[in-house]
């Protein structure tokens, strides 16, 4: 049974028995007052449905019609004590999550189901010396308005995605100006029953609960929150000139930003913190030497947070810098970035991953040998493999642009006939990106229908490398039919740092 835990659940650091966990869940539903007309359970036996995982299995309806029983934040008592969820993604928990998907215990009816596609939905990746099993599709949370309706749609989508076999969740401090992180925090309060599956070990068997250790959660720091900047300036922890066009890599700001993110996410530890578009925002202004010095100091700050247990790994989320040739002023050498991390944290540094857009319209990560590792020219995907970095990709639908340009035009691509819709075909391309260190393709969605449709892709085998290249030749030909100008616009993704500043997922 998938467990439902509300905001008031105290996540214990030590082992938890099933009886204790059940008692706390029962107590969590007692004593809430209705604070507004919308905060009223409207379905018969909301409490019973919630206890039997209704809030997890059917979050869209249950959070609307049973908001009190499902612990929707705006309906909670003002005196609720919040305690951050402890733990981080680990090998044992992610492995059990993947096994459940493969056995069909998670997901849509028939999804996974023990078939080959279900097994290939999860990938074994080494991050910081630990093997994790991560879903080939991850939940992105970039787009949307800063309103309560969007917040709850995102929370419901995260809940439904995890219940459907997705264990990678990506966000950023500036996505919807903190609303994205808060929505994820609300979802985690409904999902998580404890830190690790070992909390629920009884008679040699694990309970079917969702634990913190099953989920890989990443966020980003760099784009500034003006209120946070003003506070740090007032406290003389930050000098205003360290903020460049709404972006800051100063150690004091990064520490404050990560702590604010953890508070919104309601987490004790986040699995991965990316520096958010650092090269796009500051490389050319600082110059190569100045940028290196700034990055080393930023990495040192992240190493301190890592030593304090607030984050497990860190990385760089980018838009252009890993997709442009060495002759471009915005180019960044991945090998050099790793050397900066080594300078900041030694041989056991925490730099473990990169994120960049990869789609049918942005193929540079695998198609162009624009990185140099050990004096050999290689693609970004190859460079990441040689340097031991995981790669998370963003923008499979080109923020909707590719959908507009390619709707119904990919039906003749033989390798993509297993997918019904254009969106599914584009997502299949992204998750099939060749490279041993390819982790997850991040996809944003907010409705039940889109979660179901996107999850259907996970039940299919990714394309083999030969089929991928064959499909991409056909897709690029279709994209070029509109003329060189249209194809160029697709490859550029709508612009440089400004266009991609907040669009890493």
- Considering only CA atoms, which of 125, 128, 88, 91 is closest in space to residue 350? 128
Q: Is the pLDDT of residue 55 over 70?
A: yes
- Between 24-28, 338-342, 347-351, the lowest mean confidence (pLDDT) is in 24-28
Count other C-beta atoms under 10 Å from residue 483's C-beta. Answer: 9
Residues 96-116, mean pLDDT to the nearest whole number? 64
- Please give the pLDDT value at position 260: 98
Burial annotation 235-256 (CB, 10 A radius, 16+ → b, else e): eeebeeebbeeebbbbbbbbbb
CA dihedral sign of residues 400, 405, 411, 416: negative
> How far apart are the C-alpha atoms of 466 and 468, rounded to whole Å?
5
pLDDT band at 484 (very low <50, low <70, confident <90, very high): very low
Rounded average pLDDT over 124-128: 91
What digits encode the pLDDT tens for the residues 397-437? 998 899 999 999 999 999 999 999 999 999 999 999 999 99
Answer yes or no: is pLDDT of 293 > 90: yes
- Kindly report which listed range (79-93, 220-234, 243-257, 385-399) carries the lowest average pLDDT score: 79-93
pLDDT per residue as tens digits for the range 70-101: 988 778 765 455 678 999 999 999 999 999 98
Kindly report the number of other CB atoms within 10 A of residue 293's CB atom: 13
- What are the CA-CA distances from residue 411 to residues 46, 451, 460, 469 (Å)? 44, 22, 17, 17
Ranges of each domain in the chain:
91-492
Tokens 């790793």 belong to 338
Q: What percentage of the chain reaches a pLDDT higher than 70?
A: 83
pLDDT of residue 106: 61
Residue from 198, 164, 170 nearest 183 by CA? 170
Predicted local distance difference test score (pLDDT) of residue 500: 35
What per-residue confidence (pLDDT) applies to 82? 65
CA atoms of 461 and 302, how far apart (whole Å): 37
Q: Give the C-alpha separation, 275 to 354, whole Å.
A: 9
Averaged pLDDT score across all residues of the chain: 86
pLDDT value at residue 107: 52
Tokens of 132: 């994790």
CA distance 19 to 21: 5
* Helices then strands, each counted (H, E), the chain: 21, 14
Q: Which of 55-59, 256-260, 277-281 has the lowest mean pLDDT?
A: 55-59
Q: What is this structure's pTM?
A: 0.86
CA-nearest of 345, 279, 435 to 128 is 345
Q: Other CB atoms closer than 10 Å to residue 234's CB: what's the count?
A: 9
What pLDDT band is residue 105 in, cutting at 50, 70 and 90?
A: low
How much is the pLDDT for 493? Answer: 33
Ramachandran quadrant class, 203 (left: phi over 0; alpha: psi -120 to 50; beta: rest): left
Predicted confidence (pLDDT) per residue in 132-174, tens digit: 999 999 999 999 999 889 999 999 999 999 999 999 999 999 9
Measured between alpha carbons, how far is 443 from 459 in angstroms, rounded to an integer? 16
User: Domain spanning 91-492 has what CATH number?
Assistant: 3.20.20.100
d(CA 179, CA 155): 10
What are 356-397's pLDDT values in tens digits? 999 999 999 999 999 999 999 999 999 999 999 999 999 999
Q: Facing residues of 247 across strands?
A: 223, 244
Q: 86 near 269, Cβ under 8 Å?
A: yes
Q: Residue 350, CB half-sphere, CA atoms under 13 Å: how many?
A: 24
């Amino acid at each position: 049974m998938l467990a439902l835990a509300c905001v008031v659940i105290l996540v214990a650091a030590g082992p938890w028995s099933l009886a204790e966990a059940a008692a706390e869940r029962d107590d969590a539903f007692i004593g809430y007052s209705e604070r507004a007309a919308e905060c009223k359970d409207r379905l018969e036996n909301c409490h019973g449905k919630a206890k039997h995982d209704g809030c997890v299995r059917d979050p869209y309806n249950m959070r609307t019609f049973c908001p009190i029983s499902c612990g929707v934040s705006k309906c909670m008592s003002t005196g609720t004590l919040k305690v951050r969820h402890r733990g981080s993604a680990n090998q044992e928990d992610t492995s059990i999550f993947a096994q459940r998907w493969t056995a069909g215990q998670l997901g849509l009816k028939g999804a996974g189901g023990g078939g080959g596609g279900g097994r290939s939905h999860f990938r074994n990746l080494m991050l910081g010396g630990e093997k994790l099993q991560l879903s080939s599709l991850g939940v992105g949370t970039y787009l949307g308005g800063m309103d309560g309706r969007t917040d709850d749609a995102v929370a419901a989508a995260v809940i439904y995605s995890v219940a459907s076999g997705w264990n990678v969740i990506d966000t950023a401090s500036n996505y919807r100006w903190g609303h994205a992180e808060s929505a994820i925090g609300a979802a985690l309060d409904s999902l998580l029953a404890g830190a690790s599956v070992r909390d629920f070990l009884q008679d040699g068997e694990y309970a079917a609960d969702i634990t913190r250790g099953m989920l890989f959660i990443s966020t980003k720091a760099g784009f500034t929150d003006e209120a946070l900047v003003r506070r740090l300036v007032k406290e003389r922890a930050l000098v205003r000139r360290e903020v460049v066009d709404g972006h800051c890599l100063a150690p004091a700001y990064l520490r404050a930003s990560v702590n604010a993110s953890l508070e919104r996410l309601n987490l004790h530890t986040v699995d991965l913190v990316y520096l958010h578009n650092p090269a796009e925002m500051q490389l050319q202004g600082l110059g190569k030497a100045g940028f290196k010095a700034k990055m080393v100091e930023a990495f040192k700050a992240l190493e301190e947070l890592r030593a304090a247990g607030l984050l497990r790994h860190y990385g760089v989320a980018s838009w252009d810098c890993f997709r442009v040739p060495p002759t471009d002023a915005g180019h960044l050498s991945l090998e050099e970035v790793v050397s900066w991390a080594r300078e900041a944290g030694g041989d056991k540094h925490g730099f473990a991953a990169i994120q960049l857009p990869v789609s049918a319209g942005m193929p540079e990560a695998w198609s162009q040998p624009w990185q140099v590792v050990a004096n050999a020219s290689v693609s970004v995907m190859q460079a990441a493999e040689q340097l031991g970095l995981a790669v998370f990709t963003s923008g499979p639908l080109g923020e909707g642009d590719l959908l507009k340009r390619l709707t119904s035009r990919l039906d003749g691509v033989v390798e993509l006939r297993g997918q019904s819709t254009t969106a599914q075909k584009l997502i299949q391309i992204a998750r099939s990106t060749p490279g041993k260190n390819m982790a997850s393709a991040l996809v944003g969605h907010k409705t039940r229908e889109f979660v179901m449709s996107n999850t259907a892709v996970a039940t299919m085998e990714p394309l083999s490398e030969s089929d991928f290249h064959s499909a991409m030749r056909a897709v690029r030909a279709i994209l070029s039919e509109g003329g060189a100008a249209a194809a160029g616009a697709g490859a550029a993704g709508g612009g440089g740092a400004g266009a991609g500043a907040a669009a890493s997922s």
